């Protein structure tokens, strides 16, 4: 990560939308958002977010 001050915490819902094919528009948007954040090295995932994602 370049600068922790510019980090953006990714919500669990974004991760769920990436893997949920029931709503293609949400899925496409979530993929786009994550791609942009990862390319800019601004995405941050919390342990809580990851736990919620893997339990759901």
> Structure pTM?
0.84
pLDDT interval class at 2 (50, 70, 90): low
What is residue 8's three-state secondary structure?
strand
What pLDDT is recorded for position 5?
Answer: 75
Question: Using one digit for the tens of pLDDT, what is the confidence trace for 12-43?
Answer: 999 999 999 999 999 999 999 999 999 999 99
Beta carbons within 8 Å of 45's beta carbon, 6+ residues apart: 9, 10, 15
Residue 11 has pLDDT above 70, yes or no: yes
What pLDDT is recorded for position 56?
Answer: 76
């Amino acid at each position: 990560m370049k600068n922790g001050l510019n980090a953006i915490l990714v919500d669990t819902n974004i991760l769920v939308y990436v893997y949920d094919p029931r709503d293609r528009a949400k899925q496409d948007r979530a993929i786009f958002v994550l791609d942009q954040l990862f390319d800019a090295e601004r995405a941050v995932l919390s342990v809580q977010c990851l736990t919620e994602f893997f339990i759901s």
